[in-house]
Structure 1
């Protein structure tokens, strides 16, 4: 499959970076062609600018930023999307949220319907989304108190209107700030195994 790996962590020697490396190796070993978007290394600006927002409802809005244009092409071609990021304040890091704001845009990820009601999906090629995230909190806080807010946002607010046929594989490592090397490696193995078994 054509895969897109999006990495979002500011620290090079972080657990997220290690997990991204394992995900990349697993995807390549499985025979997938992988495009890599490292939002930090690219110096990605997450801010939706005035021109982008003003053209949000224009059917023929052009993408003037060449980096956004390339990212949009990669997204449209992807059959497998792998996201590796930390969960902060039970939300996406600002860079990743900005990637959704600027790249998952009208004309790329979806179209507006004539009555501006239900969105029309455009990511028909996307079959799988693997989200690999780390949290400092324990599992029960995410599941029982907050009811997995970030997973719900990704699945129902982002994927459902843009790539309704894609399957979400959510992999979360809890209490990541005091994780042992053994538990980190078990989780990395789970990430690799999940990616290795994916097919169209």
Structure 2
């Protein structure tokens, strides 16, 4: 399987970078090819341009400003996202990646009758999110209703791919966990990805 591994964290020595490194090594060790797209390292511009928004319903939609990222998504059989949750949401650069790359004609088609959008990422078989949060699990799940998981699973994955296997793994209370807990989480990620 060819995996697009998307990392969204500005610091090269972040825990997210460690998770991405473990994910890449594990996937490659198990025979998968991995394309690491480090959004910050590659200076991805998350801003949807005026022209992109004005042409959102054009057929074909113009993806020329993000064609390299689009080609990488189209080449993938699986998508693994690695990112921190900030304010119970995606980092802005990852949200911009969805806004600009998960575009009409790429991730979905507009239904001509005005109904539900039609998925186009039918080649994506797995859609995983490996995340961290600064909040305890109960705040994320019970108080906030796990908004990032809902957006990814019920929104992006469900609307853009068919029969995709979705999974989200999160390390909660990130700012207070001890090194042993971080190591245990990395081992858990490695074990889970080794089963793919």
TM-score by length of 2: 0.97
Tell me, yes or no, if the aligned pair for 2:63 and 2:70 is still in contact at 8 Å. no
Where 2:175 maps in the other structure, the secondary structure is helix
Structure-2 residue corresponding to 1:71: 69
Alpha-carbon shift at residue 79 of structure 1 (Å): 1.4
CA offsets per residue over residues 33-65 of structure 1, 9 Å max, x none? 111111001111100001111111011122221
Q: Distance in 2 between matches of 1:77 and 1:124?
A: 12
CA offsets per residue over residues 94-152 of structure 1, 9 Å max, x none? 00000000000000000011122111100111111110100110000011111111100
Structure-2 residue corresponding to 1:3: 3
Aligned length: 196
Structure-2 residue corresponding to 1:180: 178
Where 1:178 maps in the other structure, the secondary structure is coil
Structure-1 residue corresponding to 2:34: 34
Where 1:176 maps in the other structure, the secondary structure is coil
Structure-2 residue corresponding to 1:167: 165
Structure-2 residue corresponding to 1:19: 19
Structure-2 residue corresponding to 1:91: 89
Tell me, yes or no, if the aligned pair for 2:20 and 2:82 is still in contact at 8 Å. yes
CA offsets per residue over residues 13-33 of structure 1, 9 Å max, x none? 111111111011011111111
Structure-1 residue corresponding to 2:53: 53
CA offsets per residue over residues 138-187 of structure 1, 9 Å max, x none? 00001111111110000111111101311111100001112211111111
Alpha-carbon shift at residue 77 of structure 1 (Å): 2.1
Q: Distance in 1 between matches of 2:124 and 2:52?
A: 24
2:153 to 155, 167, 187: 155
Structure-2 residue corresponding to 1:128: 126
Structure 1 vs Structure 2 CA RMSD: 0.9
TM-score by length of 1: 0.95
Q: Distance in 2 between matches of 1:130 and 1:157?
A: 14
| Structure 1 unaligned blocks of 5 or more | none
Tell me, yes or no, if the aligned pair for 2:8 and 2:39 is still in contact at 8 Å. yes
Where 1:100 maps in the other structure, the secondary structure is helix
